[in-house]
Amino acid sequence: MHFTHDPDQTIGVRLFTLLSDVEPRGGATLVVTGSHRLVERFVRGLSPTEKEEKFARLVDRFMRTDPWLEELAHGAVDAPERERRFLEDGACIDGFDVRVETISGKAGDGVLMHPWTLHARSPHAGDGPRFILAKDIYRVPALAS
């Protein structure tokens, strides 16, 4: 996730290739569907000086732009309530529906994701191994740094 790029241009994609079967909620990568639209809005509001801030600081500022995002990032862990709130209910933030989902599918499946989509690892919750290869693919090679 680079906040310095022009939000009017998609700089590339993140590709997840499933090398093994991954069941829903099986412990693979978690994504916040629709979050790339919220990040786009956030980036549009940043000044050139703000875009140069440390990435971790910008992400923290972004996660504090809405109570749902702030609770997702910093909220108390109460597993049953947290699952319901984030994986089932989701939210509508400024007209964009967001919800946490697990990347899942069969070995050989691929999932393309906008690079500004919020995502994170999750604990392994399945019985067998899960193997996923993640690769960023950029339009311009210089952006890969």
Interval 73-94: pLDDT, tens: 988 767 788 888 998 999 999 9
Domains held by the chain: number = 1
- Residue 5 domain-assigned? no
Let me know if residue 6 belongs to a domain: no
Asked if residue 45 belongs to a domain, the reply is yes
Evaluate whether residue 46 is within a structural domain.
Answer: yes
Torsion of CA 82, 83, 88, 89, to 10 degrees: -10
Rg of the chain taking only CA atoms, in angstroms: 16
Residue 1 lies in a domain: no
112 in a structural domain = yes
Which three-class secondary structure state does DSSP give residue 50?
A: helix
The domain of 137 spans 12-144
Distance CA 86, CA 79 (A): 10
**What's the pLDDT tens digit per position in 1-36?**
567 777 888 888 999 999 999 888 777 889 999 999
pLDDT of residue 44: 92
- pLDDT of 76 reads 73
Report helix, strand or coil for 3.
Answer: coil
Residue 2 confidence (pLDDT) = 65
Sign of the torsion formed by the C-alpha atoms of 106, 109, 110 and 111? negative
Question: What is the model's pLDDT at position 10?
Answer: 80
Question: For the chain, what is the mean pLDDT?
Answer: 87
Q: Is residue 70 part of a domain?
A: yes
Is residue 108, in this structure, part of any structural domain at all? yes
